[in-house]
Amino acid sequence: SLCDIGFIGLGVMGKNLALNLADNGYKIAAFDLDTEKVEAAIKQDELERKDQPQRIFPCTSYTELLSKLSSPHLVIISVPAGGPVDDVCHKLIDAGIQADDIIVDTGNSLWTDTVEREKRYEGKFLFFTTAVSGGEVGARFGASLMPSGDRYAWTRIAPMFKAIAAKVDPETGKPIERHEPGNPVLEGEPCATYIGEAGSGHYVKMVHNGIEYADMQLICEAYNIMRTGLSMTPVEIAKVFRDWNEGELNSYLIEISAEVLEQVDTETNQPLVDIILDKAGQKGTGLWTAVSSLQVGAPSPTITSAVYARALSTLKDDRVAASKILKGPDVSELGLSKDEVISQLHDALYCSKICAYAQGFQLMSMAAKEHGWNLDFAGIAKIWRAGCIIRAVFLQSITEAYEKDEELSNLLIDPFFADQIAKFQSNWRRTVANSSMMGIPIGAFSSALAYYDSYRSAVLPANLLQGQRDYFGAHTFARVDKASGKMYHVEWSSKERNITKIK
Ligand code: 6PG
């Protein structure tokens, strides 16, 4: 009989998504340019299905793949973002894909590419996208999915994507775990919600990754303070993270950080983290978030600073050379107890994390206004509660904040979060002050604090800035005592320096 889904691109993510679909009862026709990848997927299926009938069927061409599918065809693709997505689309057009067929892009595509693709392929097939978060394990056992595009396409494919999504216990908001092949999780709320028009799902996934960058960098700065400032061993730091994982900071990223810190290098017997070269890689999504935040004018300094931190890390040779020239402070001891520093650090991480999420959500909200998307922020927080990389207990509080007030302009002013920061901020400030005194770089912590202090300032020094602009460029300024919209200018070069109304 015919297959339900054609699957193209069987890399780590693709293979696991295909196996997840197979677990949920879908028959897959699979193709990859690299035939070894097809073979690996078939082998894995054989291993996992045991005596059950075959679930994944190999194809050697796009035409064969389409011929194995029931009509209308559904093809899911998992290939690198950019050119490869269009290559596959063109190959499928050549192979005879039809107007009523659906192609679903699951990669980390740039959202503007997605918008263009929907237009470009109109009438040839239905181009739909489902951004996927959760890495290999999420793809295999339940990911967080951010679908967007043609609504009709979504109604057709929603059941299979809801089936492979991570599930949340509706009572507690906590993930329902699945780690074994077979036995899909059928109960619970699926982490897959239609996000909106073409591009919006990839935009939301992009911001998810921006937040991911900030969250990771904050954890790394906390690690650095303990490692450099307190001379703790990686295993001791892992213990602190495990402790933190029991409370407000509970999250997948804290949990895996502890595991990385506990890992011993099998070759040298050293803590692995000491052997890993301190040059961070990146594939683009964090950078895109930072660029978009600048374009939209949605201040996201903690996210942006996390991208800069990766860039700075790659200047390894410069840093090594500079470390021999540039002096830091003489303070290497603050006379604080280790326990004191660690508990301050906990609060600093928590407050900074709230700011990073506040930035990400405000960015989405401002971008949505600009692009005419009707984003449901409670819904977005909900699908990030399980399956994705930033999954955390914390997302439940964000869900509740937006359920209470769907128009909330910034998470910081939600009563719960406002109260949390009010309670924890003194330790946050101490952490930033102490780390600065010791010369430990804390770009993410300090940018979050400056963001918080700016956001809660009724008056900022932009008044002087407007004066400067008017002085050298006649850029004009508004007055606090006159109706808005009216602009004024000082004739700076004249002796009288008259102030004139411009419009
Ligand atoms: C996820 C991840 C995933 C990937 C990113 C990050 O949500 O599952 O974000 O999409 O790991 O591409 O990659 P970089 O750190 O390499 O930019």
Q: Which residue lies with its CA nearest to atom 2 of ligand 1?
A: 133
Last residue of a domain, one of 420, 438, 455: 455
- pLDDT above 80 for 126: yes
Q: How large is the average pLDDT for residues 352-371?
A: 98
Instruction: Give the Cα separation of 424 and 81 in Å (integer).
Output: 41
Is 273 in contact with 281 (CB distance < 8 Å)?
no
Task: Answer yes or no: is 310 a known binding residue.
Answer: yes
**Three-state SS at 477:** strand
pLDDT in tens, 144-194: 999 999 999 999 999 999 999 999 999 888 999 888 898 888 889 999 999
* Domain span at 90: 5-198
What pLDDT is stored for residue 1 in this prediction? 87
Q: Does residue 283's CB lie within 6 angstroms of at least one atom of ligand 1?
A: yes
Q: Ligand 1 centroid to 149 CA: how many Å? A: 22
Give residue 290's identity as a one-letter amino acid code.
Answer: A
DSSP assignment of 78-119: ---SSHHHHHHHHHHHHTT--TT-EEEE-S---HHHHHHHHH
pLDDT of 204 reads 98
Q: Is the CB of 427 under 6 A from ligand 1?
A: no
For residue 251, name the pLDDT band (cuts at 50, 70, 90).
Answer: very high
Residue 235 has pLDDT above 80, yes or no: yes
Per-residue pLDDT tens digits for 452-474: 999 999 999 999 999 999 999 99
The single residue listed with the structure tokens 């064969």 is 64
What is the number of other CB atoms lying within 10 angstroms of the CB of residue 89?
21
Q: Is the CB of 133 under 6 A from ligand 1?
A: yes
Is the pLDDT confidence value at 334 over 80? no
Q: How much distance in Å is there from the Cα of 389 to the middle of ligand 1?
A: 8
**Residues 322, 193 within the same domain:** no
Q: What share of the chain is helix, strand, coil (3-state, %, to 5)?
A: 55, 10, 35
Look at residues 440, 455, 470 and tell me which one is the last residue of a structural domain.
Answer: 455
Res 332 pLDDT > 80: no
User: Whose alpha carbon is nearest atom 7 of ligand 1?
Assistant: 133
405 and 433 housed in the same domain: yes
Reply yes or no on whether 205 is catalytic.
yes
The last residue of one of the domains, among 145, 177, 198, is: 198
pTM metric for this prediction = 0.96
The CATH number for 491's domain is 1.20.5.320
| Residue 322 CA to ligand 1 centre (angstroms) | 31
Q: Which residues contact 121 (CB under 8 A, 6 or more apart)?
A: 89, 103, 127
19 and 135, same structural domain?
yes
Cβ of 292 below 6 Å from ligand 1:
no
Cα(157) to centroid(ligand 1), Å: 24
Asked whether 489 and 470 are in contact (CB, 8 A), the reply is: yes
Q: Exposed (0-12), middle (13-18) or buried (19+): which is 468, by Cβ within 10 Å?
A: exposed
Band of residue 11 on the pLDDT scale cut at 50, 70, 90: very high
In the reported structure, the alpha carbon of residue 282 is separated from the centroid of ligand 1 by a whole-number distance in angstroms of 8
Which amino acid is it at 269? N
Whether residues 161 and 209 fall in one domain? no
CB neighbours of 480 closer than 8 A, spacing ≥ 6?
none
Residue 269, marked binder: no
Tokens representing 237 are 């730091």
Give the position, in ligand 1's atom list, of the atom nearest the Cα of 134: 8
**How many domains in the chain?**
3
pLDDT tens for each residue of 82-113: 999 999 999 999 999 999 999 999 999 999 99
Do 454 and 474 meet the contact criterion of CB atoms below 8 Å apart?
A: no
| Cβ(307) – ligand 1 distance below 6 Å | no
Q: What is the residue-wise DSSP string for 404-428?
A: H-TT-S-GGGSHHHHHHHHHHHHHH
Task: Check whether residue 360 and residue 375 sit in a common domain.
Answer: yes
Indicate the pLDDT class of residue 51, thresholds 50, 70 and 90: confident
* pLDDT bracket for residue 336 (50, 70, 90): confident
Q: Is the CB of 108 under 6 A from ligand 1?
A: yes
Same domain, 388 and 349: yes
CA angle 465, 467, 471 (to 5 degrees): 120
Contact 46, 181 (CB under 8 A): no
More confident residue, 300 or 178: 300
End-to-end CA distance of the chain: 74
Cβ–Cβ under 8 Å, residues 77 and 107: yes
Could you tell me the CATH number of the domain that includes residue 28?
3.40.50.720
The confidence score (pLDDT) of residue 465 equals: 98
245 carries a ligand binding annotation: no
* Listed residue (113, 101, 97, 133) closest to 17, CA to CA: 133
| CB distance 137 to ligand 1 below 6 Å | no
107 and 168: one domain? yes
How many angstroms separate the CA atoms of 229 and 336, rounded?
11
Q: Is any atom of ligand 1 closer than 6 Å to the C-beta of 389?
A: yes
φ, ψ (nearest 5 deg) of residue 487: -115, 150
Label residue 221 by pLDDT band (50, 70, 90): very high
Overall average pLDDT of the 57-64 stretch: 97
Question: For a pocket test of ligand 1, which of 13, 78, 79, 108 has the largest count of ligand atoms closer than 8 A to its C-beta?
Answer: 108
Q: What atom of ligand 1 comes closest to residue 135's alpha carbon?
A: 8
Please tell me the distance from the alpha carbon of residue 170 to that of residue 199, in angstroms, as a whole number.
Answer: 28
Ligand 1 centre and the CA of 4: distance in Å?
29
Selecting among 15, 68, 118, 212, the annotated active-site residue is: 212
What is the CA(283)–ligand 1 centre distance, in A? Answer: 7
* Residues 292, 364 within the same domain: yes
| Predicted pLDDT of residue 186 | 80
pLDDT score recorded for residue 279: 98
Q: What is the DSSP letter of 56?
A: E
- Pocket flag, ligand 1, residue 134 (CB < 6 Å): yes
* Domain harbouring 442, CATH code: 1.10.1040.10
Is residue 299 within 8 A of residue 293, CB to CB? The reply is: yes
SS (H, E, C) 424-469: HHHHHHHHHHHHHHHCCCCHHHHHHHHHHHHHCCCCCCHHHHHHHH
The reply, when asked if residue 475 is annotated as ligand binding, is yes
Closest CA to 100 of 80, 68, 73: 73
Q: In Å, how far are 71, 150, 179, 288, 456 from 54, measured between CA atoms?
A: 21, 32, 21, 41, 60
Give the pLDDT score at 132.
96
285-291 long-range contacts (CB < 8 A, ≥24 apart) are 285/108, 285/205, 285/206, 285/209, 285/210, 286/209, 286/210, 286/212, 286/213, 286/310, 288/110, 288/111, 288/206, 288/210, 289/206, 289/207, 289/209, 289/210, 289/213, 289/360, 289/363, 290/210
Residues 182 and 35 in one domain: yes
- Which residue in this structure is represented by tokens 């804290």? 254
Protein residue closest via CA to atom 10 of ligand 1? 133
User: Would you say the CB of residue 81 lies under 6 angstroms from ligand 1?
Assistant: no
Which of 252, 164, 268 lies closest to 215 in space, CA to CA?
252
Q: Could you confirm whether 212 is annotated as catalytic? A: yes
Same domain for 168 and 52: yes
Average pLDDT across the chain, whole number? 96
Same domain, 281 and 367: yes
Distance from chain centroid for Cα 157: 24
d(CA 126, CA 449): 45
The H-or-E segment that residue 176 falls in is strand 175-176
Q: Whose CA is nearest to atom 12 of ligand 1?
A: 283
